[in-house]
Amino acid sequence: MEGKKTTTERSPWSGGDGGGNVVRDAVDYRGCPADRAATGGWVAAALVLGIELCERLSTMGIAVNLVTYLTGTMHLPSAAAANVVTDFMGTSFLLCLLGGFLADSFLGRYLTIAVFALVQAVGTGLLAVSTLMHQLRPPPCAAAAAGVACEQATPVQMGVLYVCLYLIALGTGGLKSSVSGFGTDQFDDRDDRERAAMGLFFNRFFLFISSGTLLAVTVLVYVQDHVGRSWAYGICAGAMLVAIAVFLSGTRRYRYKRSSGSPIVHILQVLVAAARKRGLKQPLTAAALYEDRPDHARIPHTAQFPCLDRAAVMAGDDDNEVVGPDGRAAPNPWKLCSVSRVEEVKMLARLMPVWATTILFWTIYAQMITFSVEQATTMDRRIGGFEIPAASLTVFFVGAIMVTLAVYDRVFIPVCRTLTGKQGFTNLEKIGIGLALSVVGMAAAALCEKKRLSAAAAATPVPISVFLLTPQFLLVGAGEAFIYTGQLDFFITRSPKGMKTMSTGLFLTTLSLGFFLSSALVSLVKGATAWLADTIDRSRLDYFYWLLAVLSALNLAAYLVCAMWATAKPPPPPQQQHQLAMAVADADDKC
């Protein structure tokens, strides 16, 4: 350790640059500068990936088969059951913002992962107990065959279920906000070899997510349907506890990065300071704006969003209302922000158009774990003497993701590198491909549903194979492989370094809002049309799918415009434009 530390400077957020074997801006578990050979790398990242695999096993194991429990056991109407699932998933991802705030402001990513993983394990264990107790579910629907309405779950029974589900959502949100960021913390982006490994981490991260989901929709769903839900949920809770133990075992191996405070607070400070100084005259040059960072840590000033630059306009003594540790007056961050801080907010603002146009994809995704599973329950799921669980049909969805990633990594990228020298598609191109596949997937889903309804409405119903649904699963699954990795890469690499957790939370809010948008659309369509009835066979789900296909096509067009804007480099400040013009003029004179 360099020099003496004060109480406020103690581990794990101290340390210096060190020599060639020390990772700058990273410390080990004791607070000493992190040794490159003894900390981080793929060994540490693998332990992080392991806890993410178990998180997916638990969350998706519950989500993909929850709609059948709500309709078959709790006797909820079809649309209401779908909304319960999408609200649960939406809340899980929305709570990533809370987890990110706690990680950046108080706990750090390491403790955030450990604490919220334990919360999820407790919630899953309680869910196992609740599904075991017959007092917490309505009586079996013996009168359904006679056309009598089944007795729905009481408010108390649904209340207990909601407590369990949203405790799991809290754990999932807090955990997911920090897992990918803590994983990338194990690689040094200043080292060429480790930077290349970090690039591979995103695909490996998503591969582990898909592996956990694959186990959930096959093994875990089978256990739920043929052994018991309480057993399946108990397995989830146990797996998470094991994953926590494995994660904690790597404490000595991890690298810990310095936190600069909550990005949410920093963003609010810039917005408040800019609003307070909206009447001040802005300097003509960026050199006249306030900057408190050393040269190597500064972010160059850009001319975009000039209204935010007012936060860095110096107003003399009015800005100095905070007394620093040395007794001198220091700038009040709610009145004066550095140019670099303002530029960080500008970087996030540039992400927002792409952020907004990726939400609808996750609305499409929500249909794969709700209405598509309900469709499967009405179809012929037999292979010989074995009947496939309805929720297990999403194995085609997960399989499409894994095959797409494998072909892209092992075939497309080497070919592309050989022929063009490029490393495959850019993150924006991946997102565009994912959105395009979702449009085609919804069109295929509408056509398949129309055929299913025709068979169900026949005088003598003809059993129709559940494999009719595979095109929609394959297309949307391949789309997720592209859009998830593209979004994760886009938000992390284009965000400020100090806002990595914030950018991950921003990415995950697109999933959250996509699920909530699905709930809103279902409620709106159910109230305005007769397309969504109490049962799937009385509905016109194909019309709903066509609506989503049209909305997705319009969204894709909007995305292409936003992607072109995001690709364009921000214009330089006026003084740099003047210098560039003078340089061009000098070159012309010489010619």
**Is 274 in the same domain as 168?**
no
- The answer, yes or no, to whether residue 577 has pLDDT greater than 50, is no
**Is 73 in the same domain as 180?**
yes
- The answer, yes or no, to whether residue 591 has pLDDT greater than 60, is no
Residue 483 lies in a domain: yes
Residue 492 lies in a domain: yes
**Is 422 in the same domain as 547?**
yes
Q: Which domain does 327 fall in, by range?
A: 263-345
Predicted pLDDT at 482: 93
CA distance 377 to 392: 11
**Is 494 in the same domain as 557?**
yes
- The answer, yes or no, to whether residue 9 has pLDDT greater than 50, is no
Total number of domains constituting the chain = 2
User: Are the C-beta atoms of residues 399 and 477 closer than 8 Å to each other?
Assistant: yes
**Is 406 in the same domain as 444?**
yes
CATH number, domain of 223, equals 1.20.1250.20
In the DSSP assignment, the letter for residue 465 is: B
Q: Among positive and negative, which fits the CA dihedral 449, 454, 459, 460? A: negative
* Digit-coded pLDDT (tens) for 522-556: 999 999 998 988 888 888 999 999 999 999 999 99
**Is 297 in the same domain as 250?**
no
- The answer, yes or no, to whether residue 124 has pLDDT greater than 50, is yes
Residue indicated by tokens 């059951």: 81
Residue 582 lies in a domain: no
**Is 315 in the same domain as 189?**
no
**Is 277 in the same domain as 393?**
no
* Digit-coded pLDDT (tens) for 474-502: 999 999 999 988 998 888 788 877 676 67
* Digit-coded pLDDT (tens) for 201-220: 877 787 788 788 888 888 99
**Is 217 in the same domain as 309?**
no
**Is 201 in the same domain as 53?**
yes
* Digit-coded pLDDT (tens) for 376-390: 888 888 888 788 888
pTM over 0.85, yes/no:
no
The size of the chain, in residues, is 591
Q: Specify the 3-state DSSP secondary structure of 323.
A: strand
* Digit-coded pLDDT (tens) for 415-453: 888 888 787 888 899 999 999 999 999 999 999 999 999
Q: How sure is the predictor about 578, in pLDDT bands with cuts at 50, 70 and 90?
A: very low
**Is 324 in the same domain as 406?**
no
Predicted pLDDT at 193: 82
Average pLDDT, the chain: 83
Residue 268 lies in a domain: yes
Show the 3-state SS of 327-381: CCEECCCCCCCCHHHHHHHHHHHHHHHHHHHCHHHHHHHHHHCCHHHHHHHCCEC
Per the structure block, which two tokens stand in for 84? 């319960």
Show the 3-state SS of 182-233: HHHCCCCCCCHHHHHHHHHHHHHHHHHHHHHHHHHHHHHHHHHHHCCHHHHH
Residue 206 lies in a domain: yes
**Is 473 in the same domain as 504?**
yes
